[in-house]
Amino acid sequence: MDTAKIAVRGSTQEHLEVADILDDLVIMKDGSVALVVRVSAVNFGLLSEKEQEAIIYAYAGMINSLNFSIQILIRSQKKDISHYVALLEAEEKKQTNALLKNQIVSYRQFVLDTVKENNVLDKKFYIVIPFSSLELGAAMTTRGLLGRNKKGLPLPAKTIVERAGVALMPKRDHLLRQLGRLGLRAKQLTTAELIEVFYEIYNAGREMKKETGAAAQKFEQI
């Protein structure tokens, strides 16, 4: 591999706050950890007034039930319709009926014009449950005085994940139950899904090949 590319990759990773992604958790360089939950959306404007009020009260109830902090992340990116357009083009070529072929052409152009004029965005919603490095306890302080490992972590990644998991899993379960009462589908992101999210953020415009390499190797390529 080109040494210049290796240098650039190394320089980029030095500026990332993420040290590792292990057991479905994001480990930061200071030893803090984040558990990420992906949440489905609801079109609030299409609901009736009573339904809107019910969701507002349920949301307030969820917030009041929390005895831990959360972070709400909304990620917006321009809708990629290239695959859909390619599918329409393929159907257009296969179509032998002239009338249906013209309808596909018109519809494809309509889709392209709509996305171009309205700047259609794809929004994804996440809730992050943080785990502070201070919760690692006295062992972290001792390790901090003696030195950190090669990834800059105050403790081995496996140890951090084990301790964070004990604190985070009950919080996750409570949050999932509360979101279910709101009629929302929620799911904790897996290691592979977390890597894909970070890859998309730091490699905008580049498609991630899901069939190649192990998850750890993909993370190294961010």
Average pLDDT over residues 179-188: 93
Distance CA 107, CA 109 (A): 5
Give pLDDT tens digits for 113-163: 888 777 777 889 999 999 999 888 745 554 554 455 556 788 999 999 999
Average pLDDT over residues 189-214: 74
Distance CA 144, CA 155 (A): 8
pLDDT of residue 200: 84
Domains of the chain by residue range? 18-76+126-189, 80-119, 190-222
Distance CA 115, CA 133 (A): 44
> With 50 as the cut, is the pLDDT of residue 212 above it?
no
195 or 151, which is more confident?
195
Give pLDDT tens digits for 160-170: 999 999 999 99
Longest CA–CA span in the chain (Å) reads: 76
144 or 194, which is more confident?
194
Strand partners, 163: none
Distance CA 63, CA 115 (A): 36
Q: Is 33 exposed, middle or buried (0-12, 13-18, 19+ CB in 10 A)?
A: buried
Phi, psi (degrees; rounded to nearest 5) at 183: 80, 20
> With 50 as the cut, is the pLDDT of residue 8 above it?
no
Distances from the Cα of 207 to the Cαs of 8, 42, 80, 82, 122, in angstroms? Answer: 20, 28, 11, 12, 16
pLDDT averaged over every residue in the chain:
83
This prediction has a pTM of: 0.74
Percent of the chain surpassing pLDDT 90: 53
Checking phi first, is residue 52 left (phi over 0); if not, alpha (psi -120 to 50) or beta?
Answer: alpha
Alpha helix (H) residue ranges in the chain? 3-14, 49-65, 82-94, 98-118, 138-146, 157-181, 191-202, 215-220
Give pLDDT tens digits for 18-42: 899 999 999 999 999 999 999 998 8
